[in-house]
């Protein structure tokens, strides 16, 4: 038994070491972009640039550059008072933040190229942002300063109930738990852990497992609804209560909503916006591949499609 366990330990140890080498050699385990506190907002770390890597084999690789205000953009968002230039703001979540494509191929840059730089587009995108964040971004940075304001609204943006980055700060979350800090430190030292966390959601899965164990030992009700006809178990996840009606619609009349087909039609909120101010974000050719398959974020083609929609909206 002793020999077997030693042998197994050596095998697992050498596997870990080899895996670390493989991941570092092929650059498959990039760390998430660090955040920083700007005012009371949790922003991406200003001045930070690099390569975003996602997917098991690094299928997604894109350059990013964080400007001095904490947004993913090569330029700082300084407004120019040039009557020849149309000022455009785009507010959204990770689809606008755009770390899945090179920063030079973001929606805004593609729009600016389409208009031969007659527009200057600032993209206020932040991963995980929701409608409340959008409202705050609009009121803090955008309102009254741009000729056109677009909000890219997706299904998921309407489900959360409280802001995730605007007015919530980074530090209180990061320093609230010692274990969280320790886990992050482990990730930053081990490519294997980092890889597993990025691609297999290690932390989230461990948390879900602990939650499930707790539920299994304290729960005695029916579980029939958790199993489908094939006997596959669905992971129980806590549903965020849908409180769409409580979301304040605090945008000005100039705001144009871009949305994904079929995603928002069912939401009441879409009825509140004048019809001429609502556009499908992408009107694509059915043969076009707009995303990365396992990751539904748009690729360059998807973003170009969105830029075309904005282009048409501006010409109105």
Partner 1 sequence: MLFNSLEFLLFLPIVFFIYWFVLKKDYRKQNAFILLMSYVFYAWWDERFLLLLIFSTALDFFSGLMIANAISQVKKKFWLVLSIGINLGFLGFFKYYNFFVDSLKVALDSSHIHVDTWTLSIVLPVGISFYTFHGLSYVIDIYYKRINPCRNWINYSVFVSYFPLLVAGPIERATHLLPQIEKPRLFNPKQAMSGFKLMLWGFFKKIVIADNLAPSVNEIFTQYQSYSGSVLLLGAFLFAIQIYGDFSGYSDIARGISRFFGMELLLNFNFPYFSRNIAEFWRRWHISLSGWFRDYLYIPLGGSRNGTILNIRNVFIIFLVSGFWHGANWTFIAWGLIHALLFLPNFLLNKHKKDARNLPVNAFLIPSIIDVLRILLTFCLVVLAWVFFRAPSISVAIQFIGGIFQPSVFEPIGGFLNPYDNQSLLKEFVMVAIMFLAEYVYYVMPKKVFLQTFLFECVYSIIMIILIVLNIPIHSSNSFIYFQF
Interface residues toward partner 1, by CB under 8 A: 1, 3-4, 7-8, 10-12, 14-15, 18-19, 22, 28, 55-57, 59, 195-196, 199-200, 205-206, 209, 212, 216, 222-224, 226-227, 229-233, 289, 291-295
From the list 124, 51, 131, 137, the residue with the least C-alpha distance to 94 is 124
In the complex, minimum distance from the CB of residue 207 to partner 1, in angstroms, rounded to a whole number: 11
Residue 186 or 227 with smaller CB distance to partner 1: 227
In whole angstroms, give the CA distance from residue 210 to residue 19: 27
Residue 25 or 80 with smaller CB distance to partner 1: 25
In the complex, minimum distance from the CB of residue 59 to partner 1, in angstroms, rounded to a whole number: 5
From the list 89, 44, 38, the residue with the least C-alpha distance to 71 is 44
In the complex, minimum distance from the CB of residue 214 to partner 1, in angstroms, rounded to a whole number: 13
Cβ neighbour number for residue 190 with a 10 Å cutoff:
17
Residue 8 or 51 with smaller CB distance to partner 1: 8
In whole angstroms, give the CA distance from residue 284 to residue 305: 7
Q: What are the CA-CA distances from residue 251 to residues 91, 241, 247, 313 (Å)?
A: 11, 23, 12, 17
**What backbone phi and psi angles, to 5 degrees, belong to 150?**
-110, 140
Return the ∠ at Cα 280 (arms to 276 and 285), rounded to 5°: 135
Burial level of 200, CB count in 10 A (0-12/13-18/19+)?
Answer: exposed
Residue 215 or 244 with smaller CB distance to partner 1: 215
Residue 3 or 116 with smaller CB distance to partner 1: 3
In the complex, minimum distance from the CB of residue 6 to partner 1, in angstroms, rounded to a whole number: 10
In the complex, minimum distance from the CB of residue 42 to partner 1, in angstroms, rounded to a whole number: 25
> Which long-range CB contacts under 8 A does 165-168 form with residues at least 24 apart?
165/41, 165/42, 165/43, 165/126, 165/128, 165/129, 165/133, 166/41, 166/129, 166/132, 166/133, 166/136, 166/137, 166/140, 167/40, 167/41, 167/136, 168/40, 168/41, 168/42
Residue 4 or 316 with smaller CB distance to partner 1: 4
Residue 1 or 80 with smaller CB distance to partner 1: 1
Task: Give the chain's length.
Answer: 316
In the complex, minimum distance from the CB of residue 212 to partner 1, in angstroms, rounded to a whole number: 8
Tokens of 46: 């200003």
In the complex, minimum distance from the CB of residue 183 to partner 1, in angstroms, rounded to a whole number: 15
In the complex, minimum distance from the CB of residue 225 to partner 1, in angstroms, rounded to a whole number: 9
Residue 27 or 59 with smaller CB distance to partner 1: 59
């Amino acid at each position: 038994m002793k020999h077997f366990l030693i042998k197994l330990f050596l095998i697992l140890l050498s596997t870990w070491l080899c895996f670390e080498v493989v991941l570092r050699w092929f650059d498959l385990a990039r760390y998430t972009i660090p955040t920083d506190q700007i005012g009371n907002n949790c922003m991406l770390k200003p001045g930070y640039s690099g390569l975003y890597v996602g997917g098991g084999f690094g299928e997604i690789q894109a350059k990013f550059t964080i400007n001095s205000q904490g947004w993913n953009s090569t330029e700082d968002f300084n407004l120019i008072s040039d009557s020849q230039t149309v000022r455009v703001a785009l507010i959204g979540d990770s689809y606008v933040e755009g770390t899945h494509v090179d920063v030079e191929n973001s929606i805004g840059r593609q729009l600016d190229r389409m208009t031969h730089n007659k527009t200057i587009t600032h993209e206020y995108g932040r991963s995980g942002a929701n409608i409340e964040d959008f409202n705050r971004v609009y009121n803090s940075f955008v309102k009254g300063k741009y000729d056109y304001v677009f909000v890219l609204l997706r299904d998921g943006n309407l489900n959360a109930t409280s802001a995730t980055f605007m007015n919530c700060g980074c530090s209180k979350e990061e320093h609230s738990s010692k274990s969280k800090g320790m886990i992050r430190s482990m990730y930053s030292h081990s490519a294997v852990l980092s890889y597993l966390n990025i691609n297999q959601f290690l932390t989230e899965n461990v948390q879900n497992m602990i939650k499930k164990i707790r539920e299994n030992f304290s729960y005695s009700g029916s579980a029939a609804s958790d199993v489908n006809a094939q006997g596959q178990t669905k992971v129980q996840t806590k549903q965020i209560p849908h409180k769409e009606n409580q979301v304040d619609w605090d945008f000005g009349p100039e705001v144009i909503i871009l949305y994904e087909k079929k995603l928002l039609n069912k939401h009441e909120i879409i009825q509140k916006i004048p019809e001429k101010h609502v556009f499908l974000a992408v009107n694509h050719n059915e043969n076009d591949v707009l995303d990365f398959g396992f990751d539904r974020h748009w690729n360059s083609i998807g973003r170009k499609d969105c830029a075309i929609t904005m282009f048409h909206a501006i010409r109105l």
